[in-house]
């Protein structure tokens, strides 16, 4: 199994879940913006020139949430996802997909406006709007986490996806002090050895 990886990217989610599952994997490491990811060789693996890419034998998956679903289905052995008959299963699906549906769009806009664009083309108004949308999306997570340790009962793959997005929001300036449930949740996630190992790659 091989993971194409860059720090501070969605690939951290995949490494984290691989570690939680106790699976052995090889890393091919890049940096964000690495020109090598725009090469024909890499685009043959992911036409969008992004990480993560997971190769597992003849299987190749390139979207972090799809990778999480693949890994849990193939290697979870009942771990990291509720049973379909469980009342937590629809909750799990909701939060497994929440990061990409609600958080990562404004986060990408914020990164463009504050990091990727040259200073003369950046818009403080657009950046502040993106930060406000990220905060609003996290408020829903904070409300959901009232009385909960994790998003869908026990720790699941949803926590590696939306939990990672919560962590990145804090890194980019969303004030988690105003969201005590999310702040405590992020602290719980950061204490997990599998995540610590992924963050060291």
The Cα 145–Cα 141 span in angstroms is 6
- Is residue 133 located within the same domain as residue 65? no
How many residues would you count in the chain?
Answer: 201
Q: Cis peptide before 52, with omega less than 30 degrees from 0?
A: yes
CATH code for the domain in which residue 136 is found: 1.20.1050.10
Q: Answer yes or no: are the C-beta atoms of 76 and 160 closer than 8 Å.
A: no
- Phi and psi, residue 100, nearest 5°: -70, -30
CATH code for the domain in which residue 53 is found: 3.40.30.10
Q: What pLDDT is attached to residue 114?
A: 93
Domain count, the chain: 2
How is residue 80 annotated by DSSP? S
Compute how many other C-beta atoms are within 10 angstroms of the C-beta atom of residue 146: 8
- Is residue 76 located within the same domain as residue 94? no
How confident is the prediction along the chain (201 residues), in pLDDT tens digits per residue?
999 999 999 999 999 999 999 999 999 999 988 899 999 999 999 999 999 999 999 999 999 999 999 999 999 999 999 999 999 999 999 999 999 999 999 999 999 999 889 999 999 999 999 999 999 999 999 999 999 999 999 999 999 999 999 999 999 999 999 999 999 999 999 999 999 999 999
Q: What pLDDT is attached to residue 32?
A: 85
- Is residue 56 located within the same domain as residue 97? no
Is residue 131 included in any domain, yes or no? yes
- Is residue 94 located within the same domain as residue 130? yes
- Is residue 42 located within the same domain as residue 66? yes
Q: 17 vs 128, 129, 156, CA distance in Å? A: 32, 32, 9
Question: Mapping DSSP to helix (H, G, I), strand (E, B) and coil, where does residue 4 land?
Answer: strand
Is residue 199 included in any domain, yes or no? no
**Single pTM value for the model:** 0.95
- Is residue 76 located within the same domain as residue 119? no
DSSP string computed for 12-78? HHHHHHHHHHT---EEEE--TT-GGGGSHHHHTT-TT--S-EEEETTEEE-SHHHHHHHHHHHH-TT
Domain that holds residue 59: 2-80
Is residue 70 included in any domain, yes or no? yes
- Is residue 35 located within the same domain as residue 72? yes
- Is residue 103 located within the same domain as residue 141? yes
Is residue 168 included in any domain, yes or no? yes
Q: What pLDDT is attached to residue 33?
A: 82
Is residue 197 included in any domain, yes or no? no
From 85, 95, 88, select the one nearest 161 (Cα to Cα): 95
- Is residue 74 located within the same domain as residue 140? no
Q: What pLDDT is attached to residue 108?
A: 93
């Amino acid at each position: 199994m091989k993971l194409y990886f860059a720090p501070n990217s969605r690939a951290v989610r995949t490494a984290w879940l691989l570690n939680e599952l106790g699976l052995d994997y090889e890393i091919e490491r890049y940096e964000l913006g690495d020109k090598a990811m725009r090469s024909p060789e890499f685009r043959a693996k992911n036409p969008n020139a992004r990480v993560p890419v997971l190769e597992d034998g003849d299987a190749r998956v390139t979207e972090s949430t799809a990778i999480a679903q693949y890994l849990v289905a193939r290697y979870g052995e009942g771990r990291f996802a509720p049973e379909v008959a469980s009342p937590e299963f629809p909750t799990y699906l909701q939060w497994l997909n929440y990061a990409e549906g609600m958080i990562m769009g404004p986060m990408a806009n914020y990164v463009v406006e504050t990091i990727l664009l040259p200073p003369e083309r950046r818009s403080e108004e657009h950046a502040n709007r993106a930060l406000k949308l990220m905060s609003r999306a996290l408020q829903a997570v904070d409300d959901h986490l009232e009385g909960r340790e994790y998003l869908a009962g026990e720790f699941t793959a949803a926590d590696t996806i939306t939990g990672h997005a919560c962590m990145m929001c804090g890194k980019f300036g969303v004030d988690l002090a105003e969201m005590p449930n999310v702040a405590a949740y992020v602290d719980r996630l950061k204490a997990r050895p599998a995540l610590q190992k992924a963050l060291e790659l």
